[in-house]
Amino acid sequence: MDTDTDTDTDTDTDTDTDTDSDTDADSDTDADSDTDTTPPVRTPTSCADALALDPSAASGVFTIDPDGDGRNPAFDVRCDMETDGGGWTLWWWFDADDTVNWRDVDDVLAEDLSACDPGAASCFAHIPDPAAAEIRVTDGTDWASWAFAADNRTSDRAYGAFVNLETSAYELDLHLDAWNPARQSTVRLDANFACDANPEISSDGGCRNFWYEEQEGPYGRIRSFNLDDDGGYGQTAIAGGTDNSGYGVGCDVLERSLAYTNGDCRAAIYYR
């Protein structure tokens, strides 16, 4: 009978016990398993952007980066998240700062906001964000805001100065494109706080709109800015530096006067 060793008992080692049995490392247990769903933290470009990112944000110091991923580093600013809808970035201020040596000040807009300490008593900076659409000025009690308008020559001058440090001469043409507040806090800022667009009105106190140029003051020439109104001589809507009177230097906002408020001047200007 047939008693050879070729008995075909299928006892060979090819029994499908190899290691390729879906137990390898590629079993969706690797690090790329979509378990990290937290989006990266983005530095806001302005206080308005910070408020959009967190509608519950309170007023205070925030870190912003106006040029986003550009070459300029982020820096700290003070944000007003409450007044007039919030989202206001403080960019120019003077708080009766007797430590300012006006003999060393050549231009009241020349500082970079990134170089200003938010807790300092004064900062003579310009707006670091070309997308700024409006400004708000306060004397600590009242406030008024202006919206930039491309079709208004006075607004265009103000934007050129506040953002790009573009100079403009004293305007001799009365009532040329009056640029008036869009909103304000009280009726105290009503009639005298704007420029009447009617050239027939002569009792306007010499409304000459906006200029940003060197003006002679008690400590020499200082490049200063001024948005005039109908309030009368020596009073204006927004001004910083000197009023060319030879008496005052500092700031003049919301119907006050450089000549009388130099030592007591308190002003803050925000953009949004």
Model confidence over 126-176: pLDDT tens digits?
999 999 999 999 988 889 999 999 888 889 999 999 999 999 887 655 556
Q: Is a pLDDT exceeding 70 seen at residue 201?
A: no
111-139 mean pLDDT: 95
* pLDDT score recorded for residue 139: 86
Q: Is a pLDDT exceeding 70 seen at residue 25?
A: no
* Residue 229 pLDDT grade (very low, low, confident, very high; cuts 50, 70, 90): confident
- pTM attached to this predicted model: 0.79
Q: Is a pLDDT exceeding 50 seen at residue 13?
A: no
Spell out the SS3 assignment of the chain: CCCCCCCCCCCCCCCCCCCCCCCCCCCCCCCCCCCCCCCCCCCCCCHHHHHHHCCCCCCEEEEECCCCCCCCCCEEEEEECCHHHCCEEEEEEEECCCCCCHHHCCECCCECHHHCCCCCCEEEECCCCCCCCEEEEECCCCEEEEECCCCCHHHHHHHHHHHHCCCECCCCCCCCCCCCCCEECCHHHCHHHCCCCCCCCCCCCCCCCEEEEEEEECCEEEEEEEECCCCCCCCEEEEEEECCCCCCEEEEEEEECHHHHCCCCEEEEEEC
Domain boundaries, the chain: 47-271
